Each structure stands twice: as C-alpha cells, then as structure tokens.
Amino acid sequence: MMPADGACGGGYRWTPPHRRAGEGPRQEPGAASDQRLLGYDALMFREKKDFELDRLSDEELIAYVVAAREAGRLDAARVGLSIFAHRRFDDLVRRALVRVPTRQDAEDLAGQTLEGVFKAAFKGEAVGEAVNFMYTILARRIADFTDKRKGRETEPLPEDMDDEERKRRDAAISPDETGKVDLADVLERLWKLLSPLHQKVVDDYVFDGYDAKETAERVNIQLPDLDKPMTDQNVHKIASRFREDLRGALGA
C-alpha cells in the first residue's frame, strides 16, 4: 500500500491538495495572467535547474516557461516545456484513449492540448488550476475529433493489426454511449456534493486505493475530533453510496 507520504513506485508522487481536481472550477480561457503572482516575470527571469523545475506545481512551471520565453531564453523555456510534457503527456494520451480508438489519434490530441495550454499562457490568459484547464482543452479537442469523424466511412483496419489492438479499438467510449454527458464532469459534480469528510473517504478509498481499514485510520488520524470515529464499515457505506449515485447519474 501507499506509504504515509504518498510516494510510490513507477515515477508516481504525492499530489499536493491544491492540485487535486475538483477543488476549483473548470478553468476557462480569458482571465488575466497570474504570472507575477507566481513570482515570475521576464525582467526578473532566472534559470532553474531540472530538479528545481520538477518540484514546481504545474501552474508555476507554466509561468516559468512563459517568463523564459518572454526573456528570450528559448533554451530555458524548452527545458521547462520538456518537464511539463514528461509530467503530463502520458496521462493526456490515456485520457484521450478512453474516447478515441487509436493511440496515434490520442497522441495527436495530447500534443494539440499541450500546444493549446502554452498558447493560452503566452497570450496572457490565466491557466489557473492548470490540470483542469488542460483537460478542458483536451475535452474540446476530443469533441472536435469525434465531430469530424461523424458521417465518415470507417477506415479499413490494417491487415497486420493484432487481435488485442482490434479489441482495444472497439473499446473506446463512443459519443453514442454517453449522449452529451461528460463522464468526468458527472463524477466531479457528485464529489462536490459530498461533505468534506465524505470527500476525504472517497479520495482515499476510491481514488487513492487504500483499503477500508486504512482509509478509516487515515481519517481518524487527520480528523481526531470526529463525534464518532470512522470505521471500515462506514467507509464501505460512503463509497458504495457514492458509486450508486454515480451509476444513477450516468443513467445506468
């Protein structure tokens, strides 16, 4: 199970609470830049080492890249871009693969998303909660992609494609299955309706993969003043109710 500091294998790392999705609205482009608030501007630009950049939040890293570019330091901007791309690209591709049939399409969409994030940042638009902003762009790119595919004849599959890949191509969720419903939004809306205590339980048990006993222990340590201590049975109940609500909201 996950150690106390949240670190675990495979290049995974602890998520600071402010970077959790759902703690801010989906970010729309257009607001003023918050670079200066983050401590970066072109005139004061100072290059950072890789390991320093890797410690920055997404928002700080994007602001750093913008400042580097405005200072004419494309070399430094490229390093920041690389670290951001390495951090986020694979998950963008996976997220796209839920909706599009081929990895090539998913990688194209992820690349377009990366480009869109920095284009907006360079224009001075606030990226705010960067992850939300990024996935908003990706959702739009996926929507454009599926719209363009509508009415088109299905392309013939390559003859040398293996069975596993054939199955995968058919597994992506199609717009016909969801209608206009954005699955991730449905889930986030339900999560926001929960009390802070129940949100913590859902986070630990459903999304962080702790078992019920561990989840109860974590809650009791972090919230020692609860009227009644959290039990693993309560964890099960809270999680089950959340999942039932999710299935209901998805029309299942």
Partner 1 sequence: MTDVDNLFREYLAEHRAGGEADPRSFLARAEGADRLELAALIEAILERSPGREWDAVAFAGSPAARAAESVATEWDLEGEVEEASVGWRELLPALRNRVQVRRRDLVARLAEGIGAPGQEEKVAAYYHQMEHEQLPAAGVSNRVLEVLGGILGQSAETLRAAGRVVSGGAVEDTAMPAFSRKALEDPQYGAPSAASPAEAERTRSAEPDLVDELFTGGPDAGT
Q: Examine residue 71 and tell whether it contacts partner 1 (CB under 8 A).
A: yes
Query: From the CB of 228, what's the least distance to partner 1, in Å?
Result: 26
Interface with partner 1 (CB under 8 A), residue from 25, 30, 39, 72? 72
Q: Examine residue 34 and tell whether it contacts partner 1 (CB under 8 A).
A: no
Alpha-carbon 55 to chain mean position: 18
Cβ distance to partner 1 smaller for residue 34 or 54: 54
Letters for 106-145 (x = contact with partner 1 by CB under 8 A, - = none) are -x--xx--xx--x------------xx--x----------
List, in sequence order, every beta strand (DSSP E) within 103-212: none
Q: Tell me which residue has tokens 């970066």.
A: 40
- In the structure encoding, which two tokens stand for residue 24, read together? 């801010």
Alpha-carbon 95 to chain mean position: 8
Residue pair 35/63 in contact by the 8 Å Cβ criterion: yes
Task: Give the type of residue at 50.
Answer: D
Interface with partner 1 (CB under 8 A), residue from 24, 183, 231, 245? 183
Q: Examine residue 13 and tell whether it contacts partner 1 (CB under 8 A).
A: yes
Interface with partner 1 (CB under 8 A), residue from 38, 63, 67, 77? 77
Cβ distance to partner 1 smaller for residue 12 or 220: 12
Neighbours of 15 (CB within 10 A): 14
Q: State the Cα–Cα distance between residues 248 and 238, nearest whole angstrom.
A: 15
Stretch that binds partner 1, among 28-36, 42-50, 213-221, 227-235 (CB under 8 A): 42-50
- In the structure encoding, which two tokens stand for residue 157, read together? 């599959």
